[in-house]
Amino acid sequence: MSRGLISEDIIDRIRERNDLTRIVAKYAGPLVLAGDNFQCRCPFHGCKSPSFTVCPRYQIFYCFGCEYGGGVFRFMKRLRGTSFLETVRDLGREVGIEVP
Ligand SMILES: [Zn+2]
């Protein structure tokens, strides 16, 4: 599947190097291990309980409070309010991959 201007190969490489667990811990605060997953308070809605779950194995997240989920790009896209292309560029820059 193509996403327009950026090749899937580059998108995959950027996704692989931006570990979702590390990114969420960096921007959403401390993660608590719960079974095979990590949990924390959701950065997207004002929850008091840790309803935000990260699955490190599949590199996906899901919030049971606001029902938002996805991978590292969707997390950063929502967090920063950037487009998909800008999000890929930003994350690429952080790991030294220049997006043409
Ligand atoms: Zn939420």
Q: pLDDT tens for residues 64-94? A: 999 999 999 999 999 999 999 999 999 999 9
Residue 47 has pLDDT above 90, yes or no: no
Instruction: Kindly state the percentage of the chain with pLDDT values over 90.
Output: 87
Average confidence score pLDDT of the chain: 93
**Do β-strands 60-63 and 69-70 pair in parallel, antiparallel, or remain unpaired?**
antiparallel
C-alpha torsion sign, points 80, 50, 59, 27: positive
How far does residue 17's CA lie from ligand 1's centre (Å)? Answer: 25
How far does residue 65's CA lie from ligand 1's centre (Å)? Answer: 5
Q: Tell me the CA distances in angstroms from 76 to 34, 35, 36, 69, one per residue in order.
A: 23, 25, 23, 11
How far does residue 98's CA lie from ligand 1's centre (Å)? Answer: 31
- Residue 3: predicted pLDDT: 54
- Residue 4: predicted pLDDT: 66
**pTM value?**
0.91
